[in-house]
Each structure stands twice: as structure tokens, then as C-alpha cells.
């Protein structure tokens, strides 16, 4: 467990450099991300210490709360949209994809199944409703990621292979969409490329039938035997609106 914590800390310091490579960006997202991740790390480490001292219930609760905060999932999710909004396209894309892998896998190991169902349902509904009244592409992407995270967590409760398959499809979708958005205002000759990349990424994120996003959802749907899948489907349908 301490090795997992150490890996997350090294990841944090590397990612802070990516968030602000030249020192020209607004420092607010870096500071907010650092404070949130450090708080989560302190809670995790405190939980691990309590577990070593045989305080199982308290240690497990602290570890779960710290991991939930670091991964930015409900109910400790409110820092994600504001941080994504002020970050660069590259940092935002990595925050929504790569940075979620380690905390989510750790969470599936230490969180009771009942708590996992509750988190999945909350994520699906908050992601669906939260993005409806937004006008920022980055914030809408953050709320969309909540819905996709609920699907990923649901897949993770049954199979790591299903989780990784969904995660890879989601990462490619976000990468294409954010790459297209980052090109939008740079060169007029790039407009067709950026439009095609953004359109392809959006279709995959929406889970429309011919695209990989739909196949990933079908894979999770076939694997899952829990009624919580209904909330995930409702969340996806509502998020189609934005």
C-alpha cells in the first residue's frame, strides 16, 4: 500500500510540470490540483498507518476518502470542473484519463461493494445533470467524464479487462476531441483536420452505434448483472443532450 502511495506522489510531481511547463499558464489550477492531491495523500497515508496499527475500520475509511478525493469522484468531485476549466488542453485531457487509472483500481480493491454501487449511481446522475447548464467545453467534458467513470467503475467491479478496454476507448475519444479543440484557433488550413478529430472524438464519447464508444458500453452492459446499470444508461442518455 505504501508503494502505491509513493507511486501516486511521484505521478503528482511529474504531472504538475505538465500542467505548467513554461510558467506562462494561470497558476490557479496547479495550486488547486496540488492542494487536493496532497490532502488526499495525507488521508491515504494516515489510513495506511491506522491499518498497520490494527484500527481496521478507521484506517479503511480514511484510505477510501483519500482515494475518492484524489480520483475526483462523487461525493468529492467538485474540484474537477474548475481545475479542468483553467488548464491547458493537454493537462485537461490527461487529468480526465491517465490520472484516474491508479486511484480507481486502488478504490476497487479497498472499497466495499455497497459503497461502490452508491458511488457509481451518484457519478452517473451528477455527470448527467451537472453538464446541462454549462457553456464551457472543458467543464462539459469534466461532467461527461463523471458519466464515463461510472461505466468504468461498473466494469472494474466485474473484470479488470473490461475496465481497461473501456478506459482505452475513452482515452482515445478524449484525446481526439481535445486535440481537435486545441487546433481550432491556430491555423485556418487545419480547420478540416480539427473538425474531423473533434467530430470523431465526440461521436465516440456519445457512444453512438457504429463507433467504439458504443461497443465499450455494450461490453460493460453484457458483463454486469447489477440493476445499477440502469442509472448508468440514464446518465449516458441525458448527457447526449450536451
pLDDT at 189 over 50: no
Per the structure block, which three cell numbers stand in for 68?
Answer: 475518492
pLDDT given at position 168: 92
Percentage of the chain lying above the pLDDT 70 cut: 94
Q: Specify the higher pLDDT residue, 113 or 21.
A: 113
Percentage of the chain lying above the pLDDT 90 cut: 4
Which whole number is the average pLDDT over 70-97?
A: 86
Mean residue pLDDT of the chain comes to 84
Which whole number is the average pLDDT over 56-80?
A: 86
Q: Specify the higher pLDDT residue, 23 or 131.
A: 131
Question: In total, how many domains does the chain have?
Answer: 1
Highest mean pLDDT among 16-30, 113-127, 184-198, 200-214: 113-127
CA distance 15 to 83: 13
pLDDT digits (tens, 9 = 90+) for 205-239: 887 777 888 888 888 888 877 788 888 889 888 88
pLDDT given at position 177: 87
User: Which one-letter DSSP state was computed for residue 226?
Assistant: S
The pLDDT-based confidence of 82 (bands split at 50, 70, 90) is confident
CA distance 142 to 148: 10
The pLDDT-based confidence of 186 (bands split at 50, 70, 90) is low
Domain that holds residue 11: 1-240
pLDDT at 190 over 60: no
> Alpha helix (H) ranges present in 79-226?
79-85, 89-96, 101-110, 113-130, 137-158, 160-183, 191-206, 212-223
Which whole number is the average pLDDT over 181-190?
A: 64
pLDDT at 120 over 80: yes
Per the structure block, which three cell numbers stand in for 173?
Answer: 475519444
| Cα separations in angstroms, 199 against 84, 155, 191, 193, 194 | 21, 26, 12, 10, 8
pTM of the model: 0.88
The pLDDT-based confidence of 19 (bands split at 50, 70, 90) is confident
pLDDT given at position 134: 83
Amino acid at each position: 500500500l505504501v508503494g502505491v502511495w509513493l507511486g501516486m506522489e511521484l505521478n503528482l510531481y511529474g504531472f504538475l510540470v505538465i500542467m505548467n511547463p513554461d510558467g506562462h499558464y494561470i497558476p490557479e489550477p496547479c495550486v488547486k490540483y496540488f492542494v487536493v492531491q496532497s490532502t488526499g495523500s495525507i488521508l491515504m497515508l494516515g489510513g495506511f498507518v491506522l491499518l498497520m496499527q490494527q484500527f481496521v475500520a478507521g484506517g479503511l475509511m480514511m484510505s477510501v476518502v483519500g482515494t475518492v478525493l484524489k480520483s475526483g469522484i462523487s461525493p468529492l468531485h467538485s474540484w474537477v470542473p474548475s481545475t479542468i476549466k483553467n488548464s491547458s488542453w493537454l493537462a485537461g485531457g490527461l487529468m480526465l484519463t491517465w490520472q484516474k487509472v491508479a486511484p480507481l483500481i486502488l478504490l476497487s480493491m479497498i472499497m466495499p461493494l455497497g459503497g461502490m454501487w452508491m458511488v457509481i449511481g451518484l457519478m452517473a446522475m451528477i455527470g448527467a445533470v451537472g453538464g446541462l447548464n454549462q457553456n464551457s467545453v472543458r467543464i462539459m467534458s469534466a461532467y461527461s467524464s463523471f458519466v464515463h467513470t461510472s461505466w468504468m467503475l461498473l466494469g472494474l467491479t466485474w473484470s479488470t479487462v473490461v475496465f481497461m478496454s473501456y478506459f482505452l476507448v475513452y482515452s482515445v475519444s478524449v484525446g481526439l476531441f481535445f486535440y481537435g479543440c486545441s487546433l481550432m484557433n491556430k491555423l485556418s488550413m487545419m480547420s478540416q483536420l480539427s473538425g474531423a478529430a473533434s467530430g470523431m472524438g465526440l461521436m465516440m464519447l456519445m457512444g453512438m452505434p457504429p463507433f467504439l464508444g458504443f461497443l465499450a458500453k455494450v461490453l460493460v452492459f453484457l458483463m454486469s448483472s447489477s440493476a445499477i446499470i440502469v442509472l448508468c444508461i440514464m446518465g449516458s442518455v441525458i448527457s447526449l443532450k450536451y
